[in-house]
Amino acid sequence: MIISMKLHSTKEEIEQVCERIRDFGYKIHAIEGEERVVIAAVGIGDTTVCLEAVEAMPQVEKAVRISAPYKFVSKEYRTERTRIRVDDCEIGGDEFIVMAGPCSVESEKQIMQAAEGVARAGAKLLRGGAFKPRTSPYDFQGLGVEALRILSRVRRETGLPIVSEVLSTDDVEIVAEHVDMLQVGARNMQNFALLRRLGLLRKPVLLKRSPAATVREWLLAAEYLLAGGNNQVVLCERGIRSYDPDLRNTLDLAGMALARQLSHLPVIADPSHATGRRDLIPAMCRAALAAGADGLIVEVHPDPANAISDGKQSLDFPSFAHMMETMRN
């Protein structure tokens, strides 16, 4: 349920309404605006009776049922678009934000070169994997904690905020210590233990869509984070599984646009993982911009031909700079 309080309601009046809602067994989550407070009530109970009781209270302007299965993520809960601050960068605001960098941190020299190269072209955040989930157990798994320490040094020298993936609940604290935004990869989109743990965190989370997930499942995964109290969530469309052998995945622009229509959360696109081909990335970046994305996350490497992972879907510096220039025009 969504309960809109009357203009300039006092704290005492708001608490009276919250207590009445709790009497029916619901949990409370409130959004405080400049003039009005909106209360979301989530739980299992007699919704009709609760709505009638709460709407009869003099402090309440309106009480409505949330029809979507995802409550806090829904636009019914928050009509204004959410803006997520990552250091000095705002995702979901007026600026189209690009995050860029290599699939994985290979060395301090490599990631420093990447940071300087993507920053020159206009990227606002540096991406770099420390822990890498790989299909084969014999593939490079990342440098782990050492990569996180390298990323911290690079951030201090360049000023670029860092986004990096967390794979396990055991690693949440150490990753959060070194990065500005924690990424939940496609393979972990429905790792509910990890989502619950990140819901307790008060730090931005980038939630990638699983290649087999529906838009509803994606939004419900985000609901775990918001229901836990972390409302700093950015959704990322990174391609759905298809039958085409020439593409790694298929960038679902319609699904991305739908998620943005159904939710107040920012939505960005990852054309690198969606296509698996560097020659298609610039066109898909422009398509995502045209479809209303709030930003992009793109793989860029100083030497893609010799990258340890994802070289085929990584842009070099000149290609990335040219792509960024075409998107500004």
| CATH H-level, domain 2-64: superfamily | Phospho-2-dehydro-3-deoxyheptonate aldolase; domain 1 (3.30.70.1140)
> What confidence score (pLDDT) does residue 44 get?
74
pTM score: 0.89
- Which sign, positive or negative, has the C-alpha torsion 173, 174, 180, 184? negative
DSSP bridge pairs for 299: 101
Query: What's residue 136's pLDDT?
Result: 83
Strands 89-91 and 84-86: antiparallel
What is the predicted pLDDT for the residue at 42?
Answer: 81
Phi and psi (nearest 5°) for 178?
-110, -15
**Which CATH topology does 84-328 take?**
TIM Barrel (3.20.20)
Q: Where in the chain are the domains?
A: 2-64, 84-328
- 82 DSSP 8-state letter: P
Contacts for 32 with CB less than 8 Å, ≥ 6 apart: none
Give the mean pLDDT per block of 10 residues along the chain (329 residues).
85 91 85 70 81 90 85 87 95 97 96 98 97 82 93 97 97 97 97 96 96 97 92 96 90 97 97 96 97 98 95 96 92
Please count the residues of the chain.
Answer: 329
What pLDDT is recorded for position 118? 98
